[in-house]
A and B are shown apart, each in its own frame.
Chain A
């Protein structure tokens, strides 16, 4: 029974992914032609996909008995669903199509990235066994979804406002964001190929910082590794045998998660390589190819969306990310605030949007300045959602 629900749930979220992907076609046609028919098709498809994603959420919840927000895959999937919700809310008020053309791909990119983590369902460790898990994480996700609309609107604003061949820091920074997207795409691509299709797997046995023996499974050739790691092979029943694996020879202390770093290095190297080749072939900045999509946007409207989504999202973030979080921390860990890395970065995100609002209200940071800040805010959210859990060991590193 439960496993059937899980299968349906997984099928729903996969199908929703493809529906959203296909919905981009009528959406871009409607922007070009202005035909209402295509716009309606695209929006209906997005709504259907969102309902299916909600179905994924509810069925997975029913199957496991707890809200599906307990590991990395589930966090990222929830975030990407809330991005679609954020877009639908924005569309309801402002009827903007261009925003969808950017928001939907961001959501797709995220969910593709998230599905590289283990998609298995986990039982809950004791500290997570609380109703506050659902209340806290869902509120934060909704606020993230809305706050992200600010960044998407800001990005569109920048694409339109910044001239293509300008020799300036702003044009270069915008192009760096494009390079970043290429690197993420390359990362998703290589992981799918090496882990899925090729099945590359080199195991290394090492001692972690707590002094426990662990086994790291490298899906990419080892460039960096844990100090004194031994290349091994699993021979069944938790028994390992020493073998030979490729290793470039850089060893790092166990404080650093070498396996993650190895993946990051490969993504950077391959991503930069792909980016360089693209630049050589196309002989243009990459944002030249997305800029035409943004040119249909109304700058004033993008600025308005950028501001309003912060105004709507920020109080929700303060409620879910600080207040609910503090209540739960008090119940589970006996202190409402403890400067754990994740808590600290939620605080930093909170402070950042405070700065955004004060600069906007009192120092006239509108238009381009506000757009840049909105983009930085999104990077902070991503950092807090993903990087903190992976890099920094703390109470929140569940994945």
Chain B
């Protein structure tokens, strides 16, 4: 394609290289444009689009690549297909916490699951290639918007009312009438429908809804802002996401707040729906499942007054009480505390009963606080139980006979008890579901009665400073989308140079444009406007690509 300026043979205006329709009068001046690439000449009134005119340097080639709609659509398609693959099996963050991923996927989903894991699809949405695809989409959006936004701006900035007769005939909607007497009436009628009029002698341009044309550019700007915002998450200080585990009655320091804030869990509550005269009674009768109505942590929120004093004990000042429920997080500073889950699997205490070999109860039952056990328990009847060894999370007995604990958390407690009646004593090892005599021919037996568990709440501590940026980005995107979709850019050219001529163009919804024009034409004694595309009405002609 030639990169020379083009002089219009009709009006003499000099146009930049690559222009298709004369910027001044709208006559076709460059008919050798690539029809495959440019579907709608009127989109930019024939203004040159960079990616369609230059293709020499490497920069041009990269530019052409990213501005291509074909490439853009392919990237979107790839992202969509990749996203769907990620839902085939659950992502890693949905599998149970602490499970070995390789083992989990192989066990649950067989060879396919293993392959899924090996390919990294268990973390698909944070994989480098998925993020790369998103980045390419961003590049494509930016370059395509500039590529087309510039000529659009040029074509919309200062539109000329005077157009060549061939321009009129090229419009999908057009009409010519020998009688030009009612032109003022037509313009007046259209003005009443909100059209703005620009006149140059006998030529008039009526326009409304120009804003619509900027819709795509506004929404693309919003998307870029959104993508930018989501990258900010990786900067330190922008994003905090922590799980906070608090047992009932406990007060913990909140991480990421530099020791400034503390939270006490006063009570964790689970409520369920119960039958009782409500409209749901029948449903509750029919189901075997328990339906939860509320998860709630009653907290007290504290501020540490000594936060600035190095090495000082925290001086907690109560700020307020709050009930954190699902959908009702607690907000402070830039943070939020959400009800995430709860845990009642950890044992708080165990109760035992001493018996003789005939299973006769001796004395009173005794309770061991697993977090802070006593050494000696006086059960009465002159009997005493001494705790000689304790492992909260028992693994094995070492060579010296001591109990080895894997963790300090009471998940699998084991005890060595010494039972003494003042004269003699005997030893036994107690584990969950298991009791082993250590000394020979034990007379007494320590029997497990019951245990009580800790109720702990799990809260999510969240700070996300990218939120306002992302929300603004998507908000701008939506505004642009609604502007571009719900407003139509309508232009009507009218002149009485040689009889009455009218041509009309819209970026979409010709149906609505005709509803604007036809009544006005009728009022002024003209025929309905001719619609080039309405002629195949009811004949079953498939609309071709070339219009």
Residues of B within 8 A of A300 (CB): 533-534, 536-537, 543
Asked if A161 and B486 make an inter-chain contact with CB atoms under 8 angstroms apart, the answer reads: no
Residues of A within 8 A of B482 (CB): 315
Asked if B540 and A3 make an inter-chain contact with CB atoms under 8 angstroms apart, the answer reads: no
1/0 per residue, CB under 8 A from A, across B134-158: the answer is 0000000000000000000000000
Bound-complex Cα distance A102 to B336 (A): 50
Decide yes or no whether A345 CB sits under 8 A from chain B.
yes
Report the nearest B residue to A332, measured CB to CB.
Answer: B327
Across chains A and B, the number of contacting residue pairs, with CB separation under 8 Å, is 165
Most chain A CB atoms below 10 A, which of B39, B72, B109: B39
Bound-complex Cα distance A236 to B162 (A): 87
Residues of B within 8 A of A94 (CB): 511
Bound-complex Cα distance A125 to B511 (A): 47
Decide yes or no whether A121 CB sits under 8 A from chain B.
yes
* B242 CB, nearest partner CB in chain A, Å: 11
Asked if A298 and B537 make an inter-chain contact with CB atoms under 8 angstroms apart, the answer reads: yes
Known contacts A315-B481, A347-B83; is A125 also within 8 Å of B540 by CB?
no
* B90 CB, nearest partner CB in chain A, Å: 7
Residues of A within 8 A of B336 (CB): 334
Asked if B326 and A127 make an inter-chain contact with CB atoms under 8 angstroms apart, the answer reads: yes
Bound-complex Cα distance A209 to B546 (A): 56
* A386 CB, nearest partner CB in chain B, Å: 15
B278-297 CB contacts (< 8 Å) to partner A: 278-280, 282-284, 286, 288, 291-295
Decide yes or no whether B236 CB sits under 8 A from chain A.
no
Asked if B326 and A348 make an inter-chain contact with CB atoms under 8 angstroms apart, the answer reads: no
Residues of A within 8 A of B282 (CB): 120
* Binding-face segment, B73-81, B254-262, B303-311: B73-81
Decide yes or no whether A344 CB sits under 8 A from chain B.
yes
* A343 CB, nearest partner CB in chain B, Å: 9
B425-471 CB contacts (< 8 Å) to partner A: 460, 462, 467, 470
Bound-complex Cα distance A265 to B267 (A): 49
Residues of B within 8 A of A312 (CB): 485-486
Asked if B538 and A355 make an inter-chain contact with CB atoms under 8 angstroms apart, the answer reads: no
Asked if A341 and B80 make an inter-chain contact with CB atoms under 8 angstroms apart, the answer reads: no
Residues of A within 8 A of B511 (CB): 93-94, 304
1/0 per residue, CB under 8 A from B, across A132-158: the answer is 000000000000000000000000000
For chain B, the count of residues having a C-beta within 8 Å of the partner chain is: 73
Bound-complex Cα distance A359 to B68 (A): 12
Report the nearest A residue to B94, measured CB to CB.
Answer: A394
Decide yes or no whether B478 CB sits under 8 A from chain A.
yes
Known contacts A315-B485, A345-B87, A364-B39; is A161 also within 8 Å of B542 by CB?
yes
Known contacts A300-B543, A334-B340; is A123 also within 8 Å of B73 by CB?
no
Residues of A within 8 A of B283 (CB): 120-123
Residues of B within 8 A of A97 (CB): none
Decide yes or no whether B273 CB sits under 8 A from chain A.
yes
Residues of B within 8 A of A241 (CB): none
Interface of A is mostly: helix
Decide yes or no whether A351 CB sits under 8 A from chain B.
yes
B29-79 CB contacts (< 8 Å) to partner A: 39, 69-70, 72-73, 76-77, 79
Asked if A120 and B83 make an inter-chain contact with CB atoms under 8 angstroms apart, the answer reads: no
Bound-complex Cα distance A339 to B130 (A): 13
Decide yes or no whether B84 CB sits under 8 A from chain A.
yes
Decide yes or no whether A227 CB sits under 8 A from chain B.
no
Known contacts A255-B109, A339-B91, A358-B69; is A366 also within 8 Å of B543 by CB?
yes
* Binding-face segment, A173-181, A194-202, A281-289, A322-330: A322-330
Report the nearest A residue to B510, measured CB to CB.
Answer: A304
Report the nearest A residue to B273, measured CB to CB.
Answer: A123
Asked if A339 and B326 make an inter-chain contact with CB atoms under 8 angstroms apart, the answer reads: no
1/0 per residue, CB under 8 A from A, across B482-524: the answer is 1001100000000000000000000011110000000000000
Bound-complex Cα distance A253 to B89 (A): 14
Bound-complex Cα distance A392 to B88 (A): 8
Decide yes or no whether A64 CB sits under 8 A from chain B.
yes
Instruction: List the 9 shortest-distance A-B pairs measured between CB atoms, nearest first.
Output: A367-B543, A126-B326, A351-B80, A334-B338, A362-B69, A2-B279, A364-B39, A341-B87, A120-B283
Given contacts A121-B279, A122-B280, 6 further A-B contacts (CB under 8 A): A120-B286, A323-B474, A331-B329, A351-B80, A363-B39, A394-B94
15 example contacts (A-B, Cβ-Cβ < 8 A) are as follows A6-B279, A123-B280, A129-B327, A130-B327, A160-B540, A299-B536, A300-B537, A304-B511, A330-B467, A334-B340, A344-B83, A344-B84, A345-B87, A347-B80, A367-B543
Chain A interface residues toward B at CB < 8 A: 2-3, 6, 63-64, 93-94, 120-127, 129-130, 160-161, 209, 215, 238, 253, 255, 295, 298-300, 303-304, 307-308, 311-312, 314-315, 318-319, 322-323, 326, 330-336, 338-339, 341, 344-345, 347-348, 351-352, 354-355, 358-359, 362-364, 366-368, 388, 392-394
